[in-house]
Structure 1
Amino acid sequence: MILSGMEDEDKWLAEGIAGIQHNAFYMHRALDANNLRDALKCSALMLSELRTSKLSPHKYYDLYMRAFDELRKLEMFFKDESRHGVSIVDLYELVQHAGNILPRLYLLCTVGSVYIKSKEAPAKDALKDLVEMCRGVQNPIRGLFLRSYLAQVSRDKSPSLGSEYEGGEDTVMDTVEFVLQNFTEMNKLWVRMQHQGPVRIREKLEKERNELRDLVGKNLHVLSQIEGVNLELYRDTVLPRVLEQIVNCEDERAQYYLMDCIIQVFPDEYHLQTLETLLGAFPQLQPTVDIKTVLSRLMERLSNYAASSPDVLPEFLQVEAFAKLSSAIGKVIKAQVDMPIVGAVTLYVSLLTFTLHVHPERLDYVDQVLGACVKLLFGKPKLEGGRATKQIVALLSSPLEKYNDIVTALTLSNYPCIMDCLDDKTNKVMAMVIIQSIMKNNTCISTADKVEVLFELLKGLIKDLDGTAVDELDEEDFNEEQNSVARLIHMLYNDDSEEMLKIICTARKHIMAGGPTRLPFTVPPLTFSALRVVRKLQAHDGNVVGEEEEPATPKKIFQLLNEAICYPFYQTIEALSSVPSPELALRLYLQCAESANDCDLEPVAYDFFTKAFILYEEEVADSKAQVTAIHLIIGALQRMNVFGVENRDTLTHKATGVIALAYPVITYSAKLLKKPDQCRAVYTCSHLFWVDEKDGIKDGERALLCLKRALRIANAAQQMANAINGTSGPVTLFVEILNKYLYFFEKGNPQITSAAIQGLVELITDEMKSDSTPDPASDAFFASTIRYIQFQKQKGGVMGEKFGPIKM
């Protein structure tokens, strides 16, 4: 049925065009013959084709343009009085005798334009006469195109400032009055179209009506282009008349389009100086008008105007633009009770963007906008997905993008309240935006109060919200979020150690609420932040003054750590153990012990080692993890110098302490699941009793005991391999032990003799001879060790003499 209608329209359009062409042909013959009467007769017949009501606006426009082109030729004929021999005044009277009103008015407008150009009568009289007579056509489509033709032919003949038609009785005001009257009548015709046609095709008719909107809006563009329409004339005449027509028409489509036209075609300066009048019209519009889009465009234009030059900023303050816009938005939201949340939030986003452009220094304005949005959302369900949440994210992101400083956003009291209005997913997205802003701008959060506010904003990342379990989250997304939080912790810093401790304690309070799954990500950076304070104080030799002018020494800081951090860290690290992350917890204990060692605080270091041992015994069950943990403990314990002191009594005491720590390590080493792991751990323990740079820790006998015990374990491993595989297996363990013997031999351990090395070399040689399946790697390792011994023998000097007794 629709297809049939389109085919009918095409047929009617073709018939109309054919009629225009037919009559235009005879009109041209009459024009060539300078026959005025026949020219008027043929042109009237040609214009009668425009009387059709069968065409849609789009098809009618095609027909109109054919007639328009022919009328331009007729106008040229009318201008040349020598051709038709009739004065323009008589011609103006003559065309009014046309039979049908539509052709008559088209001809009248054509002659009228020539009449005005001749200046034989005041332009204002002719324009007033024409615009009044056009009321004779009340069909919306025919009337709109007729008045559009009138506006077109009179545009360059209207009195305006500096034009040839200004002067005498003709003024700019006459042109303004003409355009305003034509605009009013055209808008009435356009609005009337909404009531035509059956309901079943109302959507199609509305689409067709929308196609004609530019005919109406063009009048506003003409008004904006008239020379002489200054701010005063615009404020006192143009804007009130246009707004009156827009409000009174009570048509949703017309009100939206024309308000948008006003904003787009008139200068920004005019909008600023008439802001109160313009904004006063918005609450009077129909409730269904998309005011948010129009208002947003207005604020965008004003923002760009403010950015164009610093010289215009005082004008914004003078007219109190922010207060007026804020008040208008409130009134619009109140008037449009059915406005969706997304619409209202969009308005506040635009207002905030305007504020940040025009008044960036007024944080109270920014907070006021956020506060208004909070009131809007108060008591409503949390926003979940969709455009509304995107607008909230845009609202919260604007201050971050403008100031490039989260610290500024933290001073906005309503910022966290807006975050609370988001659903959990969007809350996390916004939290990630905040962290990314901090990292991008390298922003340092330097007080505990700011950290408190910041972590309140980030609570969607650092703890579960509304009972959302961690196992329900995507693992990759979760890891990315927690890594971001970990990076953020390194941005919490203050040069004042006392304040830094407060920062760490505040951060720890929030982090501990995150549950054991988050702790492996967040506890390590927090631990290292605390230890950074200790290192800084150690570098200053304790000569750092806090806020209360009391010296903050490493000892004092560790005391505070014990009270404020260490004890909670014990709990934290124990929580890590149950994640399970016991290996990570053990590493943190050892790191803390080393920092205590650097500060010469034996009890603290000893305490951390004790907890590391307990953690190893109770939580580290995996054999590979045990091997790694043992070597970590040995390495950390070897680096301890806090147990060595100057006087003998203390030396003895400290040595006892070292031995007390070392023996459990040896015991742990001997209990590893695999013999090779046992062997390597035990011979590594030998370094605990002989440390080169520490004179107080050179117990050669106990170092030798470790090596002998490692040999027994290696021998047991060989026997076990022989029993299982029928071969003794590689001699790698023996070669590794040989290298340890060589190390201590070079370092001067009196318990390690050349004879012992000689015996071990022979043992390895015998084992290799008895092995039916030699291992190339072990053979190469042993050969390299032999070459090293030979090199030392040939070296000469003290070392050559020392290695001399060893026979290869």
Structure 2
Amino acid sequence: MEDPAAQQRALAEGNKRVMQEAFLMKRATDASDTKSAFTHAGNMLKELKTTQLSPRNYYELYMKVLDELRHLEDFFTSQNRQARQPMVGLYEQAQACTMVLPRLYLLNTVGACYILSQEAPARDILKDLLEMTKGVQHPMRGLFLRNYFSHVTRDKLPDAGSPYEGDGGSVDDSVEFVLENFVEANKLWVRMHGQKGPSKDKKRRERERKDLRLLVGTNLVRLSQLEGVDGAKYKTDILPPILEQVVGCKDTIAQSYLMDCLIQVFPDEFHLASLEAFLDGVCRLKEKVRVRPVLESLMERIGNYVGEHPDALPKDVDAFRLLNDCVTRLVSERPKLELSEIILMQVALLQFASQCYPGRLEYINHCIGVCGRAMVSRGFEPLTGGRPARRDLPLECIEALLRLLSIPLKSLGLGVLSLAEYIDLLHFLPWESQKQVSLELLRSVLSKESALSDLDCVDRLLGMIAPILKDPPNGERGDGDAAMQAAQEEERRLVARVVHLMRNEDTDCYFRMLVVARRHLGQGSPSQVQYTLVPLVFRALGLARTIRAAEVADEEQAAAAETAAAAAAAASAATAKAEAEARATADAAEGGVNGGSGGGADDDGDADGDATNGGENGKEGEGGSDETEAAAAPAEGDEDSGETVAPAPAPAGESPATGAEGAGDDEGAFPPVPPAAAAVARPRQFSSRKVYQFLHEIVTAMAPLHPWVSLSLFLQCAIGADRTGFKAIAYEFFSQAFILYEDELSDSKAQVRALVSMAGTLLSCEGFDPVDYDALATKTAQYAAKLLKKPDQCRMVTLCSHLFWSPDEAAPGRRDARRVLECLQRSLKIADVCIAGGVNAQLFIEILNHYVFFFEADNPEIAGRYISGLVALIHEHVDSLDPSDARTEMERYLNNTLDHIRRKKEQADLPESLGKNFAWVTI
């Protein structure tokens, strides 16, 4: 019956008859009329013989009958407990029912009470019930009958610790009964597939058949609830017959459901103990069965279990190898398997490896490599060199690859860069999908705050994020809507943050990392480089400061070593001179004694000869002493000259101070050279000058695309060079900023911003010679005087006046009072011609504040009469304005300035000269 209305009518009529017969059955049980109770119960159960209801409606009717049978079950139990009727008698009365289906329902109801009374072994009753249940072979009615058997006996099976164990049977008997019920129920369910009917109703019949799957799976739930079943029994006694039934039924729906049901109902440790047998069963399923969800479910359960219990994984079982062999076998035996299914199986396998074998990178690399080879075997090629793909990758494959590539990022972060197959597989994805993976990689790296200290690592990382930096090969990157712009801003921030993770104690290696970063980031789209190269510039500036500090320390160390060497040489010379003088004195004294004893004491005149020789020796000693002093003089001269010369290393076996001759005459007589002089520092390949050259190249390359950003960076580099002592380099950076200002900046607002930055930078630099500083300050003032808008001219010329009056009184060439006054007077002239809307009054007030500043700074050219006259001029212009909000603001600004002057005039602790100056100011 297919008509829904007819189905509802048949269901309503069935429910009505069930309610009527149930009422009569309950009245009979209240009267303890067993015979009538059986009769009305049989009439009620007769409604389950209908063939007019769909499985869903039949289930509703079945549940209604089931509720009423509970009353009958309670009646039988109470009758037995009150010793009114033995269970065997009730069991025999149930068999008197003439209709097969109602009789079997009644037998199951009485049989459950029979087991509960323990008047007969549970094993015998269960066996008898199962045998008689075979009498119903109608697929749907038989399934519901077997479900009723499973329902009423669920708590009456012989099991470990149950009251029915022992004489009533053992857990092995329970396993046997439940398995037999499962096998017969599955056979009935599979038989529904062969039911005859119109082809157009096949899908409906399959859908209705799927609705009945729980009636079969309930038996597996009963097996999993047996306390006496452990992993060993499951592996040997339960799983093999189940797999045999599942594989042997040759039904796609049954195999898919029952394999998943096995995974869900039994404990995780059971699956670990029987993994190999289960996977063998998976490989023997029908080709139409989607094995991927089955394997995913299995690996997810085991992975989560091992994640919570790391010691649960058996040492003698390589679960990954077993799963991988299963997947490989399935792929080889199923040539029609879709590519997306292959990738998703590797996704599950990779997730399993990450959870159970977190340190085994070869497993991760293997899964990625399998996907890459599968892509190639299906005719897909990686997108390299910017060329378009010959075949578009299906959407489901793209999503699967994204899942696969994201798994290692979560667990490994930067470790994915060591996976040889990872980047190759990434190139199979479309450009936007590659960018998605790159963004996830950046987020993973940033979340772990992993320091990028390896050159090769930086190179590979920046190579992987190329889709973020570059435009797509098939078109330009558009600005898009607000959401797209926000996404692009987020991408740029991520790249900039990664640049700040680069660090290395070895400055040469660090510089190479920055060079590699520039190579990658410089290849980005014009819209990207202004965001990605800026952090690189600031990292390079930091490196330049570090290298320069090390260079200064090396220079100081070399100077100290030279000073120590010179002192050692001088000390050696003085020691040699003293020893020579002592020998000369001794020789002279010995000669005098010999001469006094008479020259004829020796016939051959040896005494005279000795005296003569002694005199000569004395002279030689004195001459040697003079030569030693002369030799020491150049050493002292070298020290005074201030040149740093590294001492030459002494030959092997000789003292660094004395050389070969010194060692031969008096070894160990001279003090050793300090270690600082003898040590040879490791050479530094890249100097701070090289870093500034690198910075110059970066900013110069950016200048045509982003002049304002480049100008700001040139000024930053100028500050860095000035603070590290390279005034010529700082001057060059300023020159480049000026060139950019002249050639590229045409917008008046940008020019004003640039002049403010240039003036502030110039004031921050302290190393320029007076001539260079004057040239830069004058050029800045000239730019200010050439601005298009007069108010901008006025304000910038006023600002440039500060370039000629440094707060540091000792700053050479930076305090020119006359030029300060010239700037202020010129700004007054410019302000005087700004007559539109009372702008001149506003400008006059601003100029007044600068006058007061320089007046307080004790500029001798700023006299009190200038301030008094300017105040009067401002009052005149403000009074001539019409009442407005602008005038109110001007008056408030002016009053604040005048209040400041009054406080200064009244301040008692001002320096005497400044107090006299303010006394002459009239406001």
TM bracket (short chain): 0.7 to 0.9
Find out whether 1:532 has 2:542 as its counterpart: yes
Output the CA distance in 2 between the equivalents of 1:77 and 1:685. Answer: 108
**Match of residue 797 from structure 2:** 682
Output the CA distance in 2 between the equivalents of 1:667 and 1:67. Answer: 103
Find out whether 1:433 has 2:443 as its counterpart: no
Residue-by-residue CA offset, 1:702-739 (whole Å, 9 max, x unaligned):
x5235325524532542x346x89x9x63555555555
**Could you tell me which of 483, 498, 502 is aligned with 1:488?**
498
**Match of residue 13 from structure 1:** 11
Contact 2:868 2:921 in 1 (8 A): no
Contact 1:184 1:245 in 2 (8 A): yes
Output the CA distance in 1 between the equivalents of 2:140 and 2:758. Answer: 92
**Match of residue 477 from structure 1:** 487
Q: CA deviation at 1:590?
A: 0.5
Find out whether 1:283 has 2:274 as its counterpart: no
Residue-by-residue CA offset, 1:214-244 (whole Å, 9 max, x unaligned):
1111111111122322322211121011111
**Match of residue 176 from structure 1:** 175
Moved more, 260-269 or 781-790: 781-790
Larger Rg: 2
SS of residue matched to 2:134: helix
Q: CA deviation at 1:179?
A: 1.5
Output the CA distance in 2 between the equivalents of 1:596 and 1:393. Answer: 46
Output the CA distance in 1 between the equivalents of 2:246 and 2:102. Answer: 30
Moved more, 676-685 or 613-622: 676-685
Residue-by-residue CA offset, 1:628-682 (whole Å, 9 max, x unaligned):
2122212212222222xxxxxxxxxx32222333332232222111233323333
Superposition map of 1:348-363 within 5 A: 348-363=346-361
Q: CA deviation at 1:306?
A: 1.4
- AA of the residue aligned to 1:455: L
- AA of the residue aligned to 1:502: R
**Match of residue 208 from structure 2:** 208
Q: CA deviation at 1:165?
A: 4.1
* 1:138–1:771 Cα change, 3 Å: closer
**Match of residue 373 from structure 1:** 371
- AA of the residue aligned to 1:191: V
- AA of the residue aligned to 1:449: D
* 1:31–1:636 Cα change, 3 Å: closer
Residue-by-residue CA offset, 1:147-168 (whole Å, 9 max, x unaligned):
2223334444443334444446
Superposition map of 1:430-579 within 5 A: 430-471=437-478, 473=480, 474-538=484-548, 542-543=552-553, 550=682, 552=684, 557-563=687-693, 565-574=694-703, 577-578=704-705
- AA of the residue aligned to 1:453: R
**Match of residue 136 from structure 1:** 135
Output the CA distance in 1 between the equivalents of 2:65 and 2:876. Answer: 115
Moved more, 447-456 or 769-778: 769-778
**Match of residue 697 from structure 1:** 812
Output the CA distance in 1 between the equivalents of 2:84 and 2:897. Answer: 127
- AA of the residue aligned to 2:818: L
Superposition map of 1:32-47 within 5 A: 43-47=41-45
* 1:177–1:186 Cα change, 3 Å: same
* 1:786–1:205 Cα change, 3 Å: same
**Match of residue 419 from structure 2:** 412
* 1:167–1:570 Cα change, 3 Å: closer
Contact 1:679 1:711 in 2 (8 A): no
Superposition map of 1:179-258 within 5 A: 179-196=178-195, 197-258=197-258
- AA of the residue aligned to 2:784: S
Find out whether 1:762 has 2:894 as its counterpart: no
Contact 1:34 1:83 in 2 (8 A): no
Moved more, 95-104 or 112-121: 112-121
Moved more, 107-116 or 209-218: 107-116
* 1:266–1:599 Cα change, 3 Å: same
Q: CA deviation at 1:144?
A: 0.8
Find out whether 1:602 has 2:731 as its counterpart: no
Superposition map of 1:27-66 within 5 A: 43-66=41-64
- AA of the residue aligned to 2:781: I
Output the CA distance in 2 between the equivalents of 1:770 and 1:68. Answer: 103
Residue-by-residue CA offset, 1:671-702 (whole Å, 9 max, x unaligned):
1112333233334334334424263533655x
SS of residue matched to 1:514: coil
Output the CA distance in 2 between the equivalents of 1:707 and 1:597. Answer: 28
- AA of the residue aligned to 2:139: P
Superposition map of 1:778-797 within 5 A: 779-780=894-895, 783-784=898-899, 787=902, 790-791=905-906, 795=910, 797=912
Q: CA deviation at 1:13?
A: 3.2
SS of residue matched to 1:295: helix
- AA of the residue aligned to 1:231: G
- Quote the RMSD (CA, aligned, Å): 3.8
Output the CA distance in 2 between the equivalents of 1:573 and 1:65. Answer: 78
Find out whether 1:773 has 2:888 as its counterpart: no
* 1:36–1:618 Cα change, 3 Å: closer
Output the CA distance in 1 between the equivalents of 2:101 and 2:908. Answer: 124
TM-score, length-normalised on structure 1? 0.85
Residue-by-residue CA offset, 1:467-488 (whole Å, 9 max, x unaligned):
3312254333222321232233
- Identity over aligned pairs, percent: 37
Contact 1:735 1:781 in 2 (8 A): no
Contact 1:252 1:289 in 2 (8 A): yes
**Match of residue 586 from structure 1:** 711
Output the CA distance in 1 between the equivalents of 2:51 and 2:715. Answer: 92
Moved more, 121-130 or 270-279: 121-130
SS of residue matched to 1:513: coil
SS of residue matched to 1:494: coil
Q: CA deviation at 1:304?
A: 2.5
**Match of residue 651 from structure 1:** none
* 1:59–1:476 Cα change, 3 Å: closer
**Match of residue 615 from structure 1:** 740
**Match of residue 648 from structure 1:** none
Output the CA distance in 1 between the equivalents of 2:495 and 2:787. Answer: 37
Q: CA deviation at 1:209?
A: 1.8
Residue-by-residue CA offset, 1:335-372 (whole Å, 9 max, x unaligned):
45555454444433333332222222223323333333
Unaligned segments of structure 2, at least 5 residues: 381-388, 556-679, 882-886
* 1:617–1:125 Cα change, 3 Å: same
TM-score, length-normalised on structure 2? 0.75
Contact 1:683 1:707 in 2 (8 A): no
Output the CA distance in 2 between the equivalents of 1:768 and 1:27. Answer: 113
* 1:540–1:70 Cα change, 3 Å: same
- AA of the residue aligned to 1:297: S
Contact 2:770 2:814 in 1 (8 A): no
- AA of the residue aligned to 1:570: V
- AA of the residue aligned to 1:613: F
Output the CA distance in 1 between the equivalents of 2:900 and 2:63. Answer: 102
* 1:658–1:49 Cα change, 3 Å: closer
SS of residue matched to 1:695: coil
Contact 2:781 2:797 in 1 (8 A): yes
Superposition map of 1:610-649 within 5 A: 610-643=735-768
Contact 2:548 2:688 in 1 (8 A): no
Contact 1:355 1:365 in 2 (8 A): yes
- AA of the residue aligned to 1:639: S
* 1:16–1:708 Cα change, 3 Å: closer
* 1:765–1:106 Cα change, 3 Å: closer
**Match of residue 298 from structure 2:** 298
Output the CA distance in 1 between the equivalents of 2:696 and 2:905. Answer: 55
